[in-house]
Amino acid sequence: MGTESKRQQRFAGVIQQDLAELLQREGKSWAPGAFITVTKVRVTPDLAIARVYLSFLNTKTAKEDLANIQSKTTEIRYKLGTRIKNQARIVPQLEFFLDDTNEYVEHMDKLFEEISKEPRQPD
C-alpha cells in the first residue's frame, strides 16, 4: 500500500474525529463499560472505504464489543453521514478492525522486564 494523499489524510481525519465523538456519545450502548478510542482511519484513494481501527480500554471482551459495533455498521454509517454531509459527497463504507497495539506494547514490556531480571552472562 502506497502513501496516502493529502486529500485521503484530511478526509480520514474528519472521519476519525466525527466517529470518535459519535462513539463517545453512543458507544456505551454498543460496548457497555468499555472506553472506545478511534486510533487510526485509513481511506482508499477513491474515498469509498474507510478502515477504522478501534482500541477498547476497561474491558475484557474487546472482540465481542468489536463484533457489536460491526453489527451496527449501517446505523453508524448513517449517523456519520448526517455529520459529514457538508464535507463529503459520499459517505464511505466503514470497516472496523481491532487495534491491538496497546496489547502488543504491554506484551513487549513484560518480555523486556523478564530479560532485564535474568542474570547477565560475562562476556
pLDDT value of position 74: 93
**Who contacts 104 (Cβ-Cβ below 8 Å, separation ≥6)?**
none
pLDDT in tens, 24-48: 888 778 778 788 889 999 999 999 9
21: in domain: yes
63: in domain: yes
Report d(CA 14, CA 104) in Å as an integer. Answer: 27
122: in domain: no
**Measured between alpha carbons, how far is residue 57 from residues 1, 20, 61, 119 in Å?**
29, 14, 10, 35
Judging by DSSP bridges, how do beta strands 35-43 and 49-57 pair with one another?
antiparallel
pLDDT in tens, 8-21: 999 999 999 999 99
Domain range enclosing 17? 6-117
pLDDT in tens, 71-117: 999 999 999 999 888 888 889 999 999 887 777 777 788 888 888 87
65: in domain: yes
1: in domain: no
30: in domain: yes
51: in domain: yes
CATH code for position 36: 3.30.300.20
123: in domain: no
Tally of structural domains, the chain: 1
